[in-house]
Structure 1
Amino acid sequence: MSEIDDIFNAAYKPRVFKRREVLLPDYVPEFLPHRDDETKRVALTLSPALRMERPSNIFIYGLTGTGKTAVTKFVLRKLEENAKQKGIKVGYIYANVRHRETPYRILADIADYFNMRIPFTGLSTGEVFNRIVKKLTNLEGVYIIVLDEIDFLVKKYGDDLLYNLTRINEQLSKSRVSIIGITNSVKMIESLDPRVKSSLSEEEIVFSPYDAKQLQDILNQRAEEAFNERALDEEVIPLCAALAAREHGDARRALDLLRVAGEIAERENRNVVTKDDVMKARVEIERDRVGDVVKTLPLHGKLIMTSILLATAMGKDYATTGDIYDNYKKLISKLGLEEITLRRVSGILSELDMLGIISGRIISRGRYGKTRVISLAAEVNAIIQALKEDPMIADLLNEVKYDDNRKNNSL
């Protein structure tokens, strides 16, 4: 028997997992601990759909991993089941804006729900929207459109699509449409056109972070379904909960830690997951998270990350926006590209801060006033390795030397 056969046989008979999928981000359980109030508010807001009335639009916000998407999907699933039992047409369309990227693809997803054939490219966004409106004028029912991570759409493309969707009922006679916007950014609503803001935020629901005890309850519930009996050391769940509680009460982070710790134990052919597996999982997740974020940055975003590396080299804990911009201009000059403005660089730095790759704060410089400083919030070597996957950036980073025992690197 080959080594590959051994791997596949081990995968066929898992040592620690019973139902690994229970720990995946898109799994929606039948019970959501510590989210009763939020679940009831979403359900009450959507309940008019069962009378064939348009529910109020909902704007849901809170930090990553606070149960926003899970609660929304859970309630919508229940709503759809109840409507079916009563012979009422209620449906929902879920789109993760970060994954769909463009207004065109979001509208294509909506069209696909109604069995409309939309080419991958070739039509204007306005034309796709008009086709959806035409389709809805011939249908009855209440349809709820969920736009998850809606802030990515607004930052990149503005709020035109939101404006059109929140006004769509003005063109309909038989059917009704409601919007649920979900975001991690509390400030995102402030950036919207006042007309969109008033329409979208008819109902606002804020999801607060979980504390360590609540995270333990969530993990205990999932672990009972996910793992074989006695597959977890007693320290594992409290440690996962404590680590995630430090990071703004992120349940998704806690579940990822538990799942990856289990995968590490499986790969090493062990029957029990230990706290050492959790610490290894923490390093592995951080490396993968940073890599995914940095690799998907546009070119100027990568150049700004490279500029931060340059500015925080030689033992510096932080750099000013001016230092970073000076380095950025040198890199742009070397590549022969057109530079973006300092204001746009500041905007990209804010986006990187929100993604958790860097950390920005305001410090006082006495009589010279206050200034914003930037420090790296992710593991430096992971950033460098992700940047080097872009050949253009790799050429700029050939001189990078990083010591794993130090937080900073030398360029």
Structure 2
Amino acid sequence: MWRMNPFDTVKNIFEAFEAPSRIFKNREVLRSSYVPDYLPHRQREISLVASILAPALRGETPTNLLIYGKPGTGKTASANFIGRALTSRASDLTSRYIRAFLELNRKLGDSTSGIMEEASGVVGYDELLGEDLMKELRRGVHYIYINCQQVDTGYRLLAHLANHFARDWNERVPISGWSPDTLYGKLLERLDREGGVTVVVLDEVDRLVAKSGDDVLYTLTRINSDLKHSRLSLVGISNDLKFTDMLDGRVKSSLGGEELVFPPYNAHQLRDILNQRAEMGFYPGVLEEGVIPLCAAIAAQEFGDARRALELLKVAGEIAEREGEEKVTEDHVRRAQSRIEEDRVGEVIRTLPNQPKLVLFTILQMKRFGGDRRITSGEVYDNYRFYAERAGMRVLTSRRVSEFISELTLLGLIDSRVISFGRQGRTKVIDVKIPVKRSLTVISDGIFSDVAEIPPRYTYRRAF
């Protein structure tokens, strides 16, 4: 039988996609990272954040701010939207003051300009022109967004900030090797050289603290006392409303500032967001009538996650495009939901720290070998200890493992509920909400590979 050469197969696929898409007008606007010129249903939150950061335009230090909210509630998009507007306005103001200064200098004439230049070399522009004028000329605003899932140590964070102001490659701070004092000194030097106010946004700041502690936060909250010609303000973004419970008292006190919670979107609000993006991203008439309401309804059930809604819409369009369809249907949305769920579970498992990952591994193994037998939290802990010892990992307390079980429940990987057994007391019963075999394949690629085929040590009761 004749078979097409694999190279020709790939070539045909590429050629098919060389033609303009009949589905997407601009798929980039459907990405969660895209920030439109208007954010529906976030005007209140945007106004509050803008009012907190606005003093930067006067060269004053804005109050530190902590923003909370579940994933997909517009925290990052709103912060970047405001950052873009803030730096644009600051640039306009700086240009205005510089033009006024240059015009004044021109009117003074060449001879006077020469005298001013010579005098500035002796006493400096601050004394020559006055502190107020120089403050105006220096009052630019710098906005730096940092994702703490990627920049997750104190050293990397300070190096990233210093490198933001590097003027050429030779000025860049290395990714490791400098002493804390040297790195901090370089950051101070760069900030004062640039002047103005720097607003630093730390997205997923709880991840930074969980991995590396809160020392770097304390350093940044105290940095203004060491700066001479610049100021720095912090905006922390977290999904965890109890984030500050992780902080040392001195850090909490030094951070101070204001707090703002972004509520989840409801189905109506999600439809508005999707309609806005669909108008920019799809050709007219491509989406069947029920597509956007279905995407919104699914995302509303999952804590009002706008990123989830946008991803559903985009993936549904991509499925339709690959299959050569002219319209995106509700069936494409449901298939997109299944595909995204598989990808999401794998990503969540891969990014878990080793200890909660071991707890999940234990539960999956108990489900794999126990079938429909009921799993209790006490039995999970017994088997967790069994696997931890064989994997060469530290054994944590039953209370800590119970906390991990609660976290895994919140992530949607397992289900746990407390059941009373009369005189036998109450216990937490656990069930698995993800595909066992596929999840074990993902989780067993790393340090658990040596124990992947070892059955649980303890037998447990049958389901009731």
Q: TM-score, normalised by structure 1?
A: 0.90
How far apart, in 1, do the equivalents of 2:204 and 2:392 lie? 35
How far apart, in 2, do the equivalents of 1:187 and 1:365 lie? 32
How far apart, in 1, do the equivalents of 2:420 and 2:226 lie? 54
Match of 2:129 in 1: none
- Which aligned pairs between 1:11-90 and structure 2 lie closer than 5 A? 11-12=17-18, 13-87=20-94, 88-90=139-141
On the 8 A contact 1:240/1:254 being kept in 2, the answer is yes
How far apart, in 2, do the equivalents of 1:277 and 1:397 lie? 36
Match of 1:92 among 140, 143, 157: 143
SS in 1 for 2:149: helix
C-alpha displacement at 1:175, in angstroms? Answer: 0.4
1:325 to 2:346 alignment? no
C-alpha displacement at 1:396, in angstroms? Answer: 3.4
4+ residue runs of structure 1 moved beyond 6 angstroms? none
C-alpha displacement at 1:363, in angstroms? Answer: 4.3
Equivalent pairs: percent with the same residue? 48
| Per-residue deviation, residues 195-231 of structure 1 (Å, max 9, x unmatched) | 3224435111110000001000000000111112211
1:163 to 2:218 alignment? yes
Structure 1, 132-141 or 153-162: larger mean CA deviation: 132-141
In structure 2, relative to structure 1, the CA distance for the partners of 1:139 and 1:370 (3 Å cut) is: farther
SS in 2 for 1:261: helix
Larger Rg over CA atoms:
2
On the 8 A contact 1:258/1:278 being kept in 2, the answer is yes
Match of 2:204 in 1: 149
Structure 1, 95-104 or 379-388: larger mean CA deviation: 379-388
Match of 1:10 in 2: 16
For structure 2, list consecutive stretches of 5 or more residues without a partner in the other structure: 1-6, 95-138, 456-464
Structure 1, 62-71 or 99-108: larger mean CA deviation: 99-108
In structure 2, relative to structure 1, the CA distance for the partners of 1:38 and 1:3 (3 Å cut) is: same
Match of 2:188 in 1: 133
In structure 2, relative to structure 1, the CA distance for the partners of 1:231 and 1:43 (3 Å cut) is: same
Match of 1:240 in 2: 295
C-alpha displacement at 1:366, in angstroms? Answer: 4.7
C-alpha displacement at 1:101, in angstroms? Answer: 2.3
C-alpha displacement at 1:269, in angstroms? Answer: 1.7
1:352 to 2:408 alignment? yes
Structure 1, 301-310 or 335-344: larger mean CA deviation: 335-344
How far apart, in 2, do the equivalents of 1:339 and 1:36 lie? 48
In structure 2, relative to structure 1, the CA distance for the partners of 1:83 and 1:336 (3 Å cut) is: closer
How far apart, in 2, do the equivalents of 1:320 and 1:170 lie? 53
Match of 1:225 among 266, 280, 292: 280
Match of 1:101 in 2: 152
C-alpha displacement at 1:318, in angstroms? Answer: 6.1
Q: Which residue type is aligned with residue 58 of structure 1?
A: L
On the 8 A contact 2:391/2:450 being kept in 1, the answer is no
On the 8 A contact 1:59/1:200 being kept in 2, the answer is no
Q: Which residue type is aligned with residue 113 of structure 1?
A: H
Q: Which residue type is aligned with residue 107 of structure 1?
A: L
In structure 2, relative to structure 1, the CA distance for the partners of 1:336 and 1:169 (3 Å cut) is: closer
C-alpha displacement at 1:124, in angstroms? Answer: 3.8
SS in 1 for 2:174: coil
How far apart, in 2, do the equivalents of 1:200 and 1:265 lie? 49
How far apart, in 1, do the equivalents of 2:399 and 2:214 lie? 21
On the 8 A contact 1:16/1:262 being kept in 2, the answer is yes
On the 8 A contact 2:417/2:428 being kept in 1, the answer is yes
C-alpha displacement at 1:295, in angstroms? Answer: 2.1
Structure 1, 184-193 or 202-211: larger mean CA deviation: 184-193
Structure 1, 314-323 or 20-29: larger mean CA deviation: 314-323
How far apart, in 2, do the equivalents of 1:38 and 1:261 lie? 30
Q: Which residue type is aligned with residue 336 of structure 2?
A: A
On the 8 A contact 1:57/1:199 being kept in 2, the answer is no
C-alpha displacement at 1:351, in angstroms? Answer: 4.0
On the 8 A contact 1:290/1:382 being kept in 2, the answer is no
Match of 1:112 in 2: 163
SS in 2 for 1:257: helix
Match of 1:408 in 2: none
Query: How many residue pairs end up in the alignment?
Result: 399
Structure 1, 355-364 or 188-197: larger mean CA deviation: 355-364
Q: Which residue type is aligned with residue 161 of structure 1?
A: V
C-alpha displacement at 1:339, in angstroms? Answer: 3.0
RMSD: 2.3
How far apart, in 1, do the equivalents of 2:200 and 2:310 lie? 27
How far apart, in 2, do the equivalents of 1:183 and 1:318 lie? 35
| Per-residue deviation, residues 68-108 of structure 1 (Å, max 9, x unmatched) | 00000001100000000000410111111012222222222
Q: Which residue type is aligned with residue 153 of structure 2?
A: T
For structure 1, list consecutive stretches of 5 or more residues without a partner in the other structure: 401-411
C-alpha displacement at 1:183, in angstroms? Answer: 0.5
- Which aligned pairs between 1:211-222 and structure 2 lie closer than 5 A? 211-222=266-277
How far apart, in 2, do the equivalents of 1:71 and 1:331 lie? 44
C-alpha displacement at 1:375, in angstroms? Answer: 3.4
On the 8 A contact 1:181/1:200 being kept in 2, the answer is no
On the 8 A contact 1:311/1:323 being kept in 2, the answer is no
How far apart, in 2, do the equivalents of 1:317 and 1:184 lie? 34
On the 8 A contact 2:69/2:261 being kept in 1, the answer is yes
On the 8 A contact 2:391/2:451 being kept in 1, the answer is no
- Which aligned pairs between 1:293-332 and structure 2 lie closer than 5 A? 293-313=348-368, 314-316=370-372, 319-332=375-388
C-alpha displacement at 1:367, in angstroms? Answer: 5.4
How far apart, in 1, do the equivalents of 2:180 and 2:373 lie? 46
On the 8 A contact 1:302/1:393 being kept in 2, the answer is no
On the 8 A contact 1:318/1:376 being kept in 2, the answer is no
On the 8 A contact 1:103/1:125 being kept in 2, the answer is no
C-alpha displacement at 1:352, in angstroms? Answer: 3.1
| Per-residue deviation, residues 296-318 of structure 1 (Å, max 9, x unmatched) | 33444432221111334544586
Match of 1:283 in 2: 338
